[in-house]
A and B are shown apart, each in its own frame.
Chain A
């Protein structure tokens, strides 16, 4: 079989992996954000107990190889809890929980970089601490964290390929299936790599657009 025939025959199947991979990455980013931000807030403003919980969480999820985490949840934690999640869900959740640990530290850094006077001024106007965080600290901190946060996308995108190991039907899984069916290797892997690179490029364009949209004169970092 020549390569064009193979691509014509298997192309749609491979491209279907884009949906799965993008789904994994998008879910993981959302989970990472939704958990990462409260973890950061807990670490900066929380009581001693909250700070400890946040620190242990970050230590745990940054301390284990991603493959170990994946197996731990897929074969261990979820089955023990009686949760029979499909591989896709496990992959998205593990990538998300791990992403939350990393994202929390990005947010923590930018929250702590906001001058103390901003909080003082907000309080002096009669805002409650929580109101001050919501209306003054976070709008600034989130803007500052965007450049650092933009690392998360390519990182999770490339990490998502390990979900191959638990059989999520994402790009790499489909690629290796095609390879084992057709015995063609190089062109198929190159196609897979090309798709990852393009996804990376497209996602970064979106992030740059967001950075531009929220840019404020004389504030934060300019989009590259």
Chain B
């Protein structure tokens, strides 16, 4: 029997040295939901995402995808990572490959897809993010917004069940931020399950199913975007929302 949740996070803890970064985080994600994580820098939001696909190993706690436990699965982790896409603040496109090669490489190497088939799929994903005309360009020839769209396509090419977005627009100026957010909104509306760490409140307001306010490695408050943004219950949430609203 499968649970109604595509992703379950149970009591995650993580310390870096004697600094406690995650202090018992638990939440569940349903298929098709977009969860937006907000909060001051250094409160463990990025670490939380990295603990979900085990790029950072949590000290304690469990992560389940479709009832399969991801934590402590040893070498099988690469199988689970195929089901959990990730988009990074600095894009991390493979610098020696063109846009289309960046998108097709994982399907070819990891999924053992035939190169012609992978190329077709890669072009489809590039089209989905509006980058089909840039297929043969190298990362150094792309703007930040274009590079981030390609990296979203790269993630999509593995047909993940969930995509983690780690501050996907923090390295971009407002104009480029908008083009990336448009792609992400389309994705959210098409039913992709997304976990997004961001400061873009407009994005949260328009597509988030839930907003999670984190501070000090803990979830302080969570709820529908309208509620968290207009009517936060916790004083710390109120203070944070007030601060970013001033911008």
**Residues in chain A within 8 A of chain B (CB atoms):** 115, 117-118, 120-128, 131, 135-136, 139-140, 143, 216-219
| Majority secondary structure, A binding face | helix
Q: Report if B240 contacts A (CB, 8 A).
A: no
Q: Could you tell me if B96 and A219 are in contact, using CB atoms closer than 8 angstroms? A: yes
- In-complex Cβ contact of A217 among B53, B141, B158 (8 A): B141
Q: Could you tell me if A120 and B92 are in contact, using CB atoms closer than 8 angstroms? A: yes
- Cβ < 8 Å to A, chain B residues 126-154: 138-141, 151, 154
Nearest opposing residue in chain A for B155, CB measure: A125
8 of the cross-chain contacts (CB-CB < 8 Å) are A121-B92, A123-B78, A124-B86, A126-B110, A127-B106, A127-B110, A136-B105, A217-B141
A140 and B95 in contact (CB under 8 A), knowing A125-B110, A217-B141? yes
- Cβ < 8 Å to A, chain B residues 55-92: 55, 75, 78-79, 81-82, 84-86, 88, 90, 92
CA gap between A159 and B85 in the complex, in Å:
51
Q: Could you tell me if A124 and B96 are in contact, using CB atoms closer than 8 angstroms? A: no
Number of A-B contacts (CB under 8 A): 74
Nearest opposing residue in chain A for B139, CB measure: A218
Q: Report if B27 contacts A (CB, 8 A).
A: no
**Residues in chain B within 8 A of chain A (CB atoms):** 53, 55, 75, 78-79, 81-82, 84-86, 88, 90, 92-96, 105-106, 109-110, 138-141, 151, 154-155, 158
Q: Could you tell me if B88 and A125 are in contact, using CB atoms closer than 8 angstroms? A: no
* A142 CB, nearest partner CB in chain B, Å: 10
Q: Could you tell me if A219 and B106 are in contact, using CB atoms closer than 8 angstroms? A: no
Nearest opposing residue in chain B for A139, CB measure: B96
* B155 CB, nearest partner CB in chain A, Å: 8
* A114 CB, nearest partner CB in chain B, Å: 9
Q: Could you tell me if A117 and B55 are in contact, using CB atoms closer than 8 angstroms? A: no
